Amino acid sequence: MDLNSIKRTILAAVCVLALSSVNAVAQEIRSEISLQGTGFFTKDADGNGIRQHATDTGGFLVGYRYNFNRWLAAEANYGYDRNTQIYFGGTGARVESNIHQITGSAVVKLPSFARLQPYALAGGGALVFDPTGNAEGNFAGATTETRGAFVYGAGADYAFTRHISLRAEYRGYVYKAPDFNLAGLNTDSWTHMAQPSAGIVFRF
């Protein structure tokens, strides 16, 4: 075999490997969109002679996750709930508000077994408390307030097919209790919200 034949053979081999790599990347699923129904359970907050209680409620969570590899991913989520914050002591009040969750997290995938893929997550973002203005939950002077939040959680996906999974998840949010920009409702304390959820995941 002469030098030119060797070169042609090597070039052909490189082309085959390159095409195989491109095909493998094209077939690899990296993106996910999720839609989950959620619970919303907030711990009472106490401070400055004020006790704050939030009603339990439910909502939804929509997310996009990008998988860098089989172990690590990043995700962005938007969630919505509506509840009522009730304040005792000092200035007694009720404020009904829409709560918007905007967060980003790093996701670590744990070893999978059968069709189950467990994972853990941690990140941060914001909770926006927006008073509804409804008569029964409207307190004069209450305005929209944004609180920074730390989010952590864990969950698992059960794969029905290569592109569809069922997800069960728990998220915890740590943030400063809202006061709707009113000094009379300020507990100056941190609280915790638990958010269990379940839903469906689409991979593409």
What is the enclosing helix (H) or strand (E) of 122?
A: strand 116-131
* 194 part of a folded domain: yes
Q: Among 2-11, 99-108, 109-118, 167-176, where is mean pLDDT lowest?
A: 2-11
* 39 part of a folded domain: yes
* 13 part of a folded domain: no
DSSP letter for each residue of 43-60: --EEETTEEEEE--EEEE
* 10 part of a folded domain: no
Mean pLDDT of the chain: 90
Q: Are 75 and 107 in contact (CB under 8 A)?
A: yes
Pairing of strands 31-42, 57-67: antiparallel
| Cβ-based burial of 143 (10 A; exposed 0-12, middle 13-18, buried ≥19) | exposed
* 81 part of a folded domain: yes
Domain count, the chain: 1
* 160 part of a folded domain: yes
Give me the CATH number covering residue 120.
2.40.160.20
Q: Are 32 and 202 in contact (CB under 8 A)?
A: yes
How confident is the model at residue 92, as a pLDDT?
Answer: 84
Q: What is the pLDDT of residues 64-90, one digit of tens each?
A: 999 999 999 999 999 999 999 999 987
pLDDT at 167 over 50: yes
Q: Among 1-5, 19-23, 58-62, 198-202, where is mean pLDDT lowest?
A: 19-23
* 35 part of a folded domain: yes
Q: What is the pLDDT of residues 13-67, one digit of tens each?
A: 545 544 443 344 445 789 999 999 999 999 999 999 999 999 999 999 999 999 9
DSSP annotation of 84: E
- CA–CA separation, 164 vs 157, rounded Å? 10
Domain that holds residue 126: 30-203
pLDDT at 115 over 60: yes
pLDDT at 169 over 60: yes
Residue 14, C-beta contacts closer than 8 angstroms, at least 6 positions apart: none
pTM across the whole model: 0.84
* 15 part of a folded domain: no
Pairing of strands 50-54, 72-88: antiparallel
